[in-house]
Structure 1
Amino acid sequence: MTSPTYATYLRLDELLALQVPLTPREQRDLSDSERLFIVVHQASETLLSQVLVDLRHLDAGPCGPACRAHRTDRAVRLIGALEGQLTLLRRTLRREDFLAFRDRFGTASGLQSEQFRELFALTARLTGNPDGDRSGALDAAVRRWRATHLDLVAHMLGDEPGTGATSGRRFLASRLENPPDAAPATT
């Protein structure tokens, strides 16, 4: 058996082939901006998958205090990285570019992310039974992410409707202040 290389271990050929903008290549600036949008969202879903690994472990209950502290801290830091990605997108994706390619992805919406729904459900479940200040840190991290997401949407859409048949910014603001009851997590 041969030892994997960096590229084969991370399956980079497959991973880097997944960014396929719908904007024609002839519109290079716009296509590159759409690619950035895709990269950030794919990276977010990948990081979120690790957050869920840790939160599912906590939810299953086999975790002692040191494990709980470690897994919670890691989840909080990963959510911070997700927040940083939204800030990056806010600062590097021009609003006019986003509005120009937005119609290409039709009704695709972050509302359709099973992973984010599970994050919100697990966070509600885990912080509903506080374990010191660490579970409060988890809830605070998710709230900061949601607030940063709202800021991004407000910047990109203004008062335009959202892609998921919502009112966009107003819809997200109402969910930030009054989160819906958490649905059961899917595993």
Structure 2
Amino acid sequence: MTDLGPLNYFLGIHVTRTASGLFLSQKQYAAEIIERAGMPTCHPCRTPVEPGAKLTSHGPSVKDPTLYRSLAGALQYLTFTRPDISYAVQEICLFMHDPHEQHIHALKRIIRYIQGTIELGLQLYASSPTILVAYSDADWAGCPTTRRSTSGYCVFLGNNLLSWSSKR
């Protein structure tokens, strides 16, 4: 067995040791997604989702959904260190089988949000209380077409985010 030294980069996740613990970031991967989308000079936006917006299956379909599917899959991997985009990414992934123009606009909004928050990541603290706390929420039949609910949760052990999910 070989000791490779302290962990600093693994599976696209950059690990930075700080006095308070570890900071996990996918800044380089996020920059590659922005570049692949052809949006390196886009104007950032403050939120990953348009407030109050609901995606539906109406409108013109995209002729070639390959880029949409590729970017949506890449954004799914980015949620490993960016729980702030979990809900938005889950929403666009619901339409990977038949994306429409409004879905591409939603995907581009997420990318614009990432452009403005590319420095964000996941902080893991070295020592914190060992209290397990969980939060959950649901919108109860919030989808305008299927009347299905979207729910989400996050679980903390002390100050460390352990698990999170958002799904319909």
TM-score (norm 2): 0.27
Higher-helix-fraction structure: 1
